[in-house]
Every structure is written in structure tokens, then in C-alpha cells.
Structure 1
């Protein structure tokens, strides 16, 4: 199985699932479709067409109407067969349920073209658990976004041991042509990479608040005014490599490796259900109520724009 996907050729994309991630991907694909490409959406909910018509435009409410895509061009399929039969790419963002995905791909395989790319947006179900009922187990690739995918550049490409190199290569080419950052994750790992890092920080945050060291709001302020901005510019390895001066990362560990080890050895080990939830959930609700995600997305988009502008100026784009 081989083929190419280029930004200026016909690429028919089918999205399965109209939840938060599915609609966010729909918003992204709508702004990157080149005529005569087609965006098709399929969902088993009875009001799928109305739901998409009401909610998809919300992703563009801050844009000029002249630059907004035409939502009438989105096709709502009435059956899975209809949705996938002419697709170049099929991207599922359905329930986080292994049985659902297992059965879905077996059905998709019956109707989709043989060279169609099959992507799962799962947050934690590896491709190797999704392909067991398929005839060709080399086709499915996890393409895990960082929420919200219409704004965030990262896509974690997580193959099963049986996923073909051609599928990985074509997927990388597709996303790179659209200005995204597809990272090939070499081995299946619980939670992949981005969430493992984020949840490690979350676990320590829960521990520190639960132990009365800081409040929920204070901890967030610490992150927002320290490693948050720093990590937007450089990840942990580059940051601490810089922190070591001329000796780099080795110098950093030589200088304060003992403190690092003390923190690792003394890291918190709270588990979900241990009893910390009531206190921390209450503090979060008191501090933030219902978070304005539109404001979050607007600021995030602007931050990414500034970073991209600076990279072009410094020649690091």
C-alpha cells in the first residue's frame, strides 16, 4: 500500500465522531481543504447534522466572516459505508472504548479504499488493541492531538508494531504540509508522551496541594510564572541544558543533581480515589468556576503566533 497526500490535490477527509476533539479537527481541516477536496462527518447521533451546524461555526466566531469557511460544504453522511467509501483519510474521534474502536475499524475496512489512511485520535488506547479484527493490520495509526487540535501544533503518531512505514510517512507529510508538528513515537506506551509528562506534573501538583504546601490557585500561578513560559520556548532538556551554562546538561546535574535526586526521591504518590479529590475539586471550583475556553484558546493562539514570529526572526523556524 502506497500513495501520496499533498496539500494542493484532492483529499477527501472523513471524520467519525462529533465530540470536542472531532469538531476541533473538523475546524482545522475546513481551513486547510483545497478544492475539490471534501470534508465528511459521520456520527451515529440522530441529530448529527443539526449538532454540527450549530456547534462547528463556534470555532470561527472570532474570525472575519469573509475568511470563515463555508459550512455548507461539509457533508453529513447517513451511514458508515457512505462516509468512508471515497475517503483518502478516515480519522476517528469516537468514545475511549477499545471495543468500539475494534469493531469500527473492522467495519471501515470493508468499505474504505485500500490505500486510505486510518487514524485514531485516542488518548490512550494503542493501535495494537484496535486492529485485532482487521484483515490488514498495517493500516491503523494513532494520531493523538493535544487539545484543542485546531490550535495546538502537536500530533503524536503512535504506530503499532504492525503499522507500515508508508502509513507513517504519508501521515507525517500530510501534517507537515499543513504547518503541524507530527512526532513519530517509536514505541507504544501508556498515555503516549505528552500526557505522561503532563500527568506527572499533575500528580505532583495534587500532592503539594493535598499536603497543604500551596493552594490550587497558587500552584497554577507558580506554573504560569515560571516553567510555563519557559517551556513554551524550550522543553525540559533544552531548558536545563541552558541552565548548566557552558557545561550544559551535565553541568546542571553536577551543580544541583543532589537536589534533583532529593525531589525525585520525595515525589508525591497520590492515587485517584485516595481521598484528596474533595478538597482539590472544591478549591478548583472556587478559584475558577467554569473556565472560559474561548479565552484560553484565543490567548494560546496568540502565544503560538508570537513564538512562530520570533523563530522566523531568529532563523530557527
Structure 2
């Protein structure tokens, strides 16, 4: 089981965008008498972290006190007493293999070891570890201090105990840890998102629609719909009493026609100039703070509605 909540020591390795986002989350959820340590190799790490961490909290709110935040200057000092060690370093296989081999030498034997990689499987990262059962990919959906999803992607060697302890940790903090049962390129959330992105690029490149128009279509249709129900639940509902089977019976030919006509675009095919130019012209520099503020409000509403549903039908949550 996880260490007692009265004392929890978490170490984050890497203070990039994802690392600091996780830091903001953990600082908001640490039990009393607990500590967060960050280790980063940049020369001005402490000043950089303290200057930038505040940007991950709403401007009109007071961020949690960071007086207990520790900035480690060596890897052994950072990991030796931690219950959880979470890395968000460069997407480089050699760096991650070297890192975990070194972490393993100094970490507690029962410490949880997590990688927030976007696509490097745990089975590859753990190649130089003595005990490969300890490592688990915990892939967030950016930004992790706001988005609930954590994809737990074990290697074939990762122990069930590590998976269960990790699920328990995140569920206790009202996050959504999903156990991905097989390692696959890009995991699941990115594969789904990139499939939509590929078709979006195809439609813009073919002149069917502009970048801004396509975004408007998504934001006023499947965007809000999928926030309430994913594609299977949505189309199961769309089939009426016959469910998903009825949906395909009704418009299966149209679905197949879209699949058959799907765009086959590749990075470097030549669409980049047109699509990138339209994105710059439509959006310039995106206001990420506005995006995060609206996302928080949306998630709050969804959580409130789910709570109402549970109160109205307690058996639905069992």
C-alpha cells in the first residue's frame, strides 16, 4: 500500500512544462507534513522553478505555500528518501535508460517509479534496470494540473502491485487513471487525438475547410459532446433503442465511405506551409491561461453534474 498520507515524499525529475504542471498539482494535494522535491539539471534551476511555478495557478487565486518545496542539487539526494519518483525529462531513450538505472541505485526499494513520457514505452526505458517490475509509464494529458486523465502503461514486466498502488494514489486525488493493457505507439489518448488531427490536416490541405472553420466545427459539435460522453457512448446513444448496432445499421454506409476516403497525410508531404500559415493567421500566440481557465470551468461543471447523478441514483456509482 501507499505510505501513510500523514507523510508523503514525492520527487519530480525535470522542471519543464509537464514537470512544473505536476508540481503545481502535487503542491495542491500534499497531506500535512509532506514534501515535494524537484531535481533539474539546468544551472539556474531553483530560480527558474520558483519564478515559473506560480504561472500554473489561476491569477485570481493564491497558490499553495511552497515553503516546503525542496530543490535538490544531486540525483541521489533527490530520490533517496522519496516514496514516489516521477520523471518528466527529455524524450530521449538513452537519457531515460541512464536515468532509471541511476535512480534504482539510490531509491527506496518500495518507491514508485513513474515516467510521464509521451511515447517511449516502459519496456524500453527499463532495459538497464536490475528490477524491471518497478517502472510504470504515467502519461498525462496536458496540462496535468488540470486534466484528469493519467494513462498507466505498464511494460510486460511491470508488477500488478505497482499498477494498483498507482491507481489508488490518483483515484484518491479525484483523477482518472486508466490502465492501458498493452504498450502501443503514442498510447491511447494521443492516438485518438492524432487521428482527428490527421483528418483535419487533410481537409484543410484539400481546401474543404480552413483551419479556423475546422476548429469552429469541432468546438461546436464533438468537442462539448465528447466532454460528456466518449465516441462509443455517443454513437450508442445515436442509435436509439438499438444502440451502437442500430447506429451502424442506419448510417453504416456513410461511416464506411468516410473511412475509405480518409486522408493519408504524412509529416513532410508539403501541407505544412499552408496549415501552419493559417494557424498563425487565425490564432497568433494562443492564450494558454484562457484555455486553462475555461477548461477548469468545464471540468467543474461536469464534476457537479456527475455528483448530482450519483445523489439521485446512488447505485450508479457502485
Which blocks of at least 5 consecutive residues in structure 1 are unaligned? none
Cα drift, residue 61 of structure 1: 4.3
* Residues 5 and 170, structure 1, Cα contact 8 Å, conserved in 2: no
1:44 aligns with 2:77: no
User: 1:10: how far off?
Assistant: 1.2
Q: Compute the displacement of 1:64 (Å).
A: 3.2
Give the structure 2 partner of residue 225 of structure 1. Answer: 220
Distance 1:121 1:59 in 2: 18
Aligned counterpart, 2:114: 119
Give yes or no for the alignment of 1:272 onto 2:270. Answer: no
SS of the residue corresponding to residue 71 of structure 1 reads: coil
Preserved contact between residue 11 and residue 38 of structure 2 (Cα < 8 Å): yes
TM-score by length of 2: 0.97
Is contact 1:119-1:141 (8 Å) kept?
A: yes
Report deviation, 1:314.
Answer: 1.8
Separation in 2, partners of 1:179, 1:241: 27
Aligned partner of 2:138 in structure 1 is 143
Cα distance in 2 for residues equivalent to 1:63 and 1:245:
44
Q: How far apart in 2 are the matches of 1:177 and 1:241?
A: 30
CA offsets, 1:51-98, max 9 Å, x none? 011000112242433xx2112211000100000000000000000001
Q: Which residue of 1 aligns with 2:18?
A: 21
Say which SS state the counterpart of residue 30 (structure 2) adopts. Answer: coil
Encode CA deviations 1:3-34: one digit per residue, 9 max, x unaligned. Answer: 3245x331100000000000000000000001
Alignment of 1:139-288 (within 5 A): 139-288=134-283
**Aligned match of 2:2:** 4
Cα RMSD after superposing both structures: 0.9
Conservation of the 8 A alpha-carbon contact between 2:141 and 2:147: yes
Alpha-carbon distance, 1:259 to partner: 0.5
Q: Name the CA distance, whole Å, in 2 between partners of 1:5 and 1:291.
A: 41
| Count of residue pairs brought into register by the alignment | 312
Is 1:30–2:3 an aligned residue pair? Answer: no
SS of corresponding position for 1:132: helix
Contact 1:5–1:173 (Cα < 8 Å) also in 2: no
Per-residue CA distance 1:231-253 (angstroms, 9 max, x = gap): 00000000000000000000000
Pair 1:109 & 2:107 matched: no
The whole-number CA distance in structure 1 between the counterparts of 2:309 and 2:133 is 41
Provide the C-alpha distance between the structure 1 equivalents of 2:294 and 2:48, rounded to a whole number of angstroms: 27
- Tell me the SS of whatever aligns to 1:242: helix
Any gaps of 5 or more consecutive residues in structure 2? 311-315
TM-score by length of 1: 0.97
> Does the CA contact (< 8 Å) of 1:57 and 1:71 recur in 2?
no
Q: In the aligned structure 2, how far is the partner of 1:153 from the partner of 1:217?
A: 27
